[in-house]
Amino acid sequence: MSATYAVQVTQSRGRRFPEPHHPYRNDFQRDRDRVIHARAFRRLEAKTQVFTRRYSDHFRNRLTHTLEVTQITRTIAGALDLNVDLAEALALVHDIGHPPFGHAGEKALDAAMRRHGLFFDHNLHALRIVEDFEQRYAAFRGLNLTFEVREGIIKHSRDYDEKKHPELSEYLLAERPPLEAQLIDLTDEIAYNTADLDDGYEAHLLPLAEIRDGVPVFDRFYREVEQTYPTVADKLKFNETVKRILNRFVDDLIRTTQKKVSAAKIQTLDDVRRHPQRLAAFSPTVDAERKQSKDFLYENLYYSPSLADEKDDAERVVTELFNFWMDRPNSLPPNYQEKAKQESLPRVICDYIAGMTDPFILEQYEKYCG
């Protein structure tokens, strides 16, 4: 039995196009399955998280990162007596709007759009994917997801101003999202703050001594592991340490959120929505540890000189392809040429590039700009 403030599937605001209920899957389970079977979800397997396959095929890609976020989210949502099916669907869909080449690709795509007075936002692009681009059903365009999943796509990681985004007014922008959606941004951070340390260490870009010096919570647990397992290989000590950090972050998020819900006397979903701030949170101590880990990764991995050339290449590929199609729209695929008759050309090109995998955009670059 879920908490009284959890989202109840029986109280869902429903789908844009009504459908009969399924005999043995509830609506959020069906949303989860629709996301998993979507083409955009499959494409995440060939999109960069941090490392391209030039380093190794052992490292996380956007899809495996999504699966790790989903596992963490299910655990926490279950411990908090939330709607696990909804939380799982939101975790699976949370990165579906990301373009190729990770954050470098997103940065370049946004910069290209801003030169035309527009912008790129991966949450808004994800909504366009599930509302329009995915074509699997004869009765409607898109995946026809429930309101709660579409709302979570928009609101899981930031608050949008209704004055600036009147097109999103149906998503209750003045209210907080349900706790199931509030969890996603935090479980995303738990996943990449630990996984990127692991991948950075495996790639020999983050030396053990540097991690211990720059991430105090890592050093504290590593010393504990050394005392427990003094003779095992350094990599196993490293794994045990990362596991302890992950467990600490997860446990703290559960306990702190429970305390905040209790202190605010939250009883219903409406109480969650009307609360002045988000209720899902880390404690101040663990939040400081999270920030230290994140800052360390930005300073020593994400902007590492070793990755700089790849980031520069990614930004150049996105920018030059975007400019090429702006100058030669007749080189776009026929369906995108048709779309450009109804929508602005920059937006159509942005949509096309954002949907590409890393290998496909490189093929297109070689073909048109090589």
Distance (Å, whole) CA 275 – CA 177: 10
Q: DSSP letter at 142?
A: B
Q: Token pair of 97, please?
A: 């709007």
- The band of 168, judged by pLDDT with boundaries at 50, 70 and 90, is very high
Q: Are 324 and 345 in contact (CB under 8 A)?
A: no
DSSP per residue, 77-114: HHHTT--HHHHHHHHHHTTTT--TTHHHHHHHHHHHHH
Rounded to whole angstroms, the Cα distance separating 275 from 268 reads 11
Segment 74-126, tens digit of pLDDT? 999 999 999 999 999 999 999 999 999 988 999 999 999 999 999 999 999 99
Q: Where are the domains positioned within the chain?
A: 9-308
> For 332-340, what is the mean pLDDT?
94
Distances (CA, A) of 64 to 122, 148, 188, 191, 224: 18, 24, 12, 10, 29
Q: Mean pLDDT over residues 213-224, rounded?
A: 98
Q: What percent of the chain has pLDDT over 70?
A: 98
pLDDT band, residue 58 (cuts 50/70/90)? confident
> Is domain 9-308 annotated with CATH 1.10.3210.10?
yes
pLDDT at 52: 63
**CA quadruple 300, 306, 307, 311: dihedral sign:** positive
- Helix then strand count (H, E) for the chain reads 17, 0
Looking at residue 54, its pLDDT comes to: 59
Q: What is the DSSP string of 221-239?
A: HHHHHHHH-TTS-HHHHHH
The stretch 297-315 carries a mean pLDDT of 89
Average pLDDT, the chain: 95
The pTM assigned to this predicted structure is 0.95
Lowest mean pLDDT among 57-61, 178-182, 359-363: 57-61
Write the pLDDT tens digit of every residue in 64-86.
Answer: 999 999 999 999 999 999 999 99
| Predicted confidence band of residue 53 (pLDDT cuts 50, 70, 90) | low
In this predicted structure, the answer to whether residue 310 has a pLDDT above a threshold of 90 is no
